[in-house]
Amino acid sequence: MEPSKRSIDKAAQEMISRMAKLGQQNAWDRLDAQLPQCGFGKQGICCRICSMGPCRISKKASAGVCGADVDTIVARNFLRMIAAGVSAHSDHGRTVAEVFLATAKGDAPDYRLKDTTKLHKLAKELGVQTAGRSTQEIAADVGEIARAEFGKPEGTQLMTRRAPKPRQEIWQKLRVTPRAVDREVTESLHRSTMGVDQDFRNVLLQASRAALADGWGGAMLATELQDVLFGTPYPGRGEVNMGVLKTDEVNIIVHGHEPILSEMIAAAAQDKELLAEAAKVGAKGINVAGTCCTANELLMRHGIPIAGNFLNQELVIATGAIELMAVDVQCVMQGLTEVAKCYHTKLVTTADKGRIAGVEHVSIEEKTALKTAKELIRMAIANFKNRGEVDIPKDKEKVVGGFSFESINYMLGGRFRASFRPLNDNIINGRIRGVAGIVGCTNPKVPQDFTHTTLARELIKRDVLVLTTGCATIACGKQGLANPRTALDLAGPGLREVCEAVGIPPVLTCGSCVDNTRLLVSCCEMVREGGLGEDISELPVAGACLESISEKAIAIGQYFVASGLLVVFGEELLPISGSANVSEYLFRGIEKEFGGHWAVESDPVKAAETILAHIESKRDALGINKAKERKLYDMADRRALAVE
Ligand code: XCC
Ligand code: SF4
């Protein structure tokens, strides 16, 4: 297949061609070898949870051996995906909580509590005494409470109290206020095992509760504690794409998710001794760059360059310029091993829970993290001399990274009156129509970066402020959408005016996938600020994920929906189409209960229309469309806009 059909990223195209020429395989090639993929799996109608199966629903068999009907099977599979997604984010959150606690207790000497202002706020929220106590003491209490959120025997997630009151009441009424994360995951697995929960509605309610334990629990804690540990992000410049790799420096890629590892490598790369060692082997410096979400974490906090998103992980190695790639957890393709073998690149796993057969393992532990990071850098330096021919694409784009909730608040209102008021006002007066979150991965089934960036362009053109996370952020960055200089020209006049006044691009990079909780917190603040209704479900806000790969994305989608938002997902990527009842519930029925719902649309232009229609209907309901005359677009107008 033409490289341009595989990715819209020029640098990626170059590397795809290079790999093809050299006879090396990547995810796209392996996808081709898998085609046609299983139609039962796509629709969510196969079940292999007991050994009377595997069963699949067809014209010939309308039930599994146990009698489970298609609704039960599809709902159960959906719940299991969510449980897996929740467990990934929340295990990440738990690791952060453990390092946080160790830091507070003085057991993790290489880490610091960087944002004590945020620590105090968090302490207050969690009911921890601050007066007359040291930072360490306060942090130790916060850490204990946070860690308990994952496994406490009773009570519900404390962070849910951040949600607007009516939202909390909806959750209580539906009995889905999440309890301990572990409990929700365990119960989800129990309920979806053979012969337990066989009422698809009941199964899907648990899907909401488990997902909420992620969004308002594990993932939210990950973000909050990481901010205290590593610093709350504030906007700063950075660069994205493979052009950030250096021909004359030692290149190290950090790949995966937990900043526990990448922060240490980033810190160690500045070590004078190591820089001198690099110079000795003829390298001008040590260049650390990230891929996937750990890259977002580093860009957000330190402006460290991003080499690419999910589908770039194999391609960066194909530049021949990577001395070492250190990976931790999640979204690390086993395919990396084969690509790394074709080059001098040393692939190293660092998380004991994420090893790869045949790959060297260097375990990162909190007590000795910096020492281990230095060891990894030494391995990279020693490997510099083994470089063969190097082919680094030129492409890179400037981005502004670092839009945390706090920094958006600050940018909008200023240091002395930090506030969401200007955002709310500009939504009310119609300069900004609404806000959309574009999140998610890149999937070889779709041309890489195409849907995220096309959707972002469509939305900003029509005055919708876009917040992005995960690999979608990196996609937008690569296409210049997170750079005020290039992106403001693409924004509609109202949005542009506001962005220029405040000094922000129309697409805000908000971090990694756990940082989707920043979007939830921002929604809470929009409600609290006033003028846009009493609950998240009243806001002219929506989420979209048209290029997902991960169970995590389904969990995120479900907690957005259960928080009251519309979520538009890539059609092929949501395996529920086999059950009309489950589809009907998730697309429509759930809205009556939660105020949010799923929609599927693979065409980004049409997805933009869906989101705009949603935003305008929320504006109508709020009565803020009456104030000003607005141009009513009919379908023909919209299409004309879309092809501009
Ligand atoms: Fe993975 Fe987070 Fe998806 Fe990227 S966006 S492919 S989940 S790295 Ni999170
Ligand atoms: Fe088949 Fe039922 Fe067992 Fe699933 S639980 S594999 S549908 S018998």
pLDDT tens sequence across 575-629: 999 999 999 999 999 999 999 999 999 999 999 999 999 999 999 999 999 755 5
The structure tokens listed for 541 are: 């806000």
Closest C-alpha to ligand 1, atom 3: 441
Copy the structure tokens of residue 187.
């119960």
Measured in degrees and rounded to the nearest 5, phi and psi for residue 253 equal -105, 130
pLDDT at 413: 79
Instruction: Tell me how far the alpha carbon of residue 488 lies from the centroid of ligand 1, in angstroms.
Output: 27
Kindly state if the Cβ of 513 falls inside 6 Å of ligand 1: yes
Q: Whose C-alpha lies nearest to ligand 2, atom 7?
A: 64
Please report where in the chains the tokens 């020429």 appear, as a residue.
21
Atom of ligand 2 nearest to the CA of 48: 6
Rounded distance between C-alpha atoms, residue 525 and residue 520, angstroms: 9
Nearest CA to ligand 2 atom 4: 47
Question: How far away, in angstroms, is 185 Cα from ligand 2 center?
Answer: 21
- Rounded to whole angstroms, the Cα distance separating 526 from 531 reads 8
Q: Which residues contact 63 (CB under 8 A, 6 or more apart)?
A: 57, 69, 70
The alpha carbon of 136 and the centre of ligand 2 are apart by a number of angstroms equal to 52
Residue 165 CB burial class (10 angstroms; 0-12, 13-18, ≥19): exposed
Burial of 379 (0-12, 13-18, 19+ CB in 10 A): middle
CB atoms within 10 A of CB 219: 32
Which ligand minimizes its atom distance to the CA of 554?
A: 1
Spell out the alpha helix ranges (H) of 384-469. 405-413, 421-428, 450-461
Q: Which ligand is nearest to the CA of 219?
A: 1
Residue 56 carries which side chain, given as an amino acid letter?
A: R
Distance CA 23, CA 324 (A): 22
The two tokens of residue 142 are 């916060």
SS3 474: helix
Q: Where are the alpha helices (DSSP H) in 312-399?
A: 313-317, 336-341, 369-383
Q: Which residues contact 380 (CB under 8 A, 6 or more apart)?
A: 250, 251, 252, 286, 323, 324, 346
Q: Which of 81, 87, 253, 292 to mutate to test the pocket of ligand 1 (most atoms within 8 A of CB)?
A: 292
SS3 readout for 104-136: HCCCCCCCCCCCHHHHHHHHHHCCCCCCCCCHH
pTM (two decimals): 0.96
Closest ligand to 295 CA? 1
Is 573 a pocket residue for ligand 1 (Cβ < 6 Å)? no
Ligand 1 site, residue 550, Cβ cutoff 6 A: yes
Q: Which residues pair with 218 in a beta bridge?
A: none
Q: What contacts 199, CB < 8 A, 6 or more positions away?
A: 72
Q: What is the Cα–Cα distance from 569 to 575, expressed in whole angstroms?
A: 11
The token duo for 307 is 């080499």
Please indicate whether residue 48, judged by its CB atom, sits closer than 6 Å to ligand 2: yes
The verdict on the CB of residue 81 being under 6 Å from ligand 1 is no
Best of 71, 76, 194, 200 for a ligand 2 pocket test (most atoms within 8 Å of beta carbon): 194
Looking at ligand 1, which residue's alpha carbon is closest to its atom 6? Answer: 441
Q: Which ligand does the CA of 297 lie closest to?
A: 1
Q: Is 624 in the pocket of ligand 1 (CB under 6 A)?
A: no
- Determine the pLDDT at residue 643: 45
> Amino acid letter at 53?
G
How many other CB atoms are found less than 10 A from the CB of residue 177?
A: 21
Q: Which candidate, 398, 396, 404, 410, places its Cα nearest to that of 503?
A: 410
Pocket test for ligand 1, best of 550, 560, 569 (most atoms within 8 A of CB): 550
Decide if 391 contacts 245 (C-beta within 8 A): no
- Cβ contact 339:24 at 8 Å: yes
Q: Which two tokens stand for residue 467?
A: 């917040």
Verify whether ligand 2 is closer than 6 Å to residue 52 (CB atom): yes
Centre of ligand 2 from the C-alpha of residue 103, in Å = 47
The answer to whether 420 touches 525, Cβ cutoff 8 Å, is: yes
DSSP single-letter state for residue 385: G
Q: Pocket of ligand 1, candidates 91, 296, 299, 552: which has the most ligand atoms within 8 Å of its Cβ, to mutate?
A: 552
Tokens of 504: 């922000």
What pLDDT score was predicted for residue 108?
A: 96
Please give the Cα distance from 359 to 349 (Å, whole number).
7
In our burial notation (b when 16+ CB lie closer than 10 A, e otherwise), range 314-346 reads bbbbbbbbbbbbbbbbbbbbeebebbbebbbbb
Q: Is the Cβ atom of 54 under 6 angstroms away from ligand 2?
A: yes
Residues with pLDDT less than 70, the chain: 414-416, 627-644
| CB atoms closer than 10 angstroms to residue 24 | 18
- 3-class SS of residue 522: helix
Task: Decide whether any atom of ligand 1 lies within 6 Å of the 440 Cβ.
Answer: yes
Q: Is 219 in the pocket of ligand 1 (CB under 6 A)?
A: no
The rounded distance, in Å, linking the Cα atoms of 195 and 203 is: 12
Relative to the CA of 55, which ligand 2 atom is closest?
Answer: 1
Please report, in angstroms and rounded to a whole number, the separation of the first and last CA atoms in the chain: 28
CA of 245 to the centre of ligand 1 (A): 21
**Protein residue with its CA nearest to atom 6 in ligand 2:** 53
Cα(49) to ligand 2 centroid in Å equals 6
Closest listed residue to residue 607, CA positions, set 431, 483, 439: 439
Q: Which ligand neighbours the alpha carbon of 308 most closely?
A: 1
How far, in Å, CA of 553 to CA of 88, rounded? Answer: 11
Atom of ligand 1 nearest to the CA of 293: 2
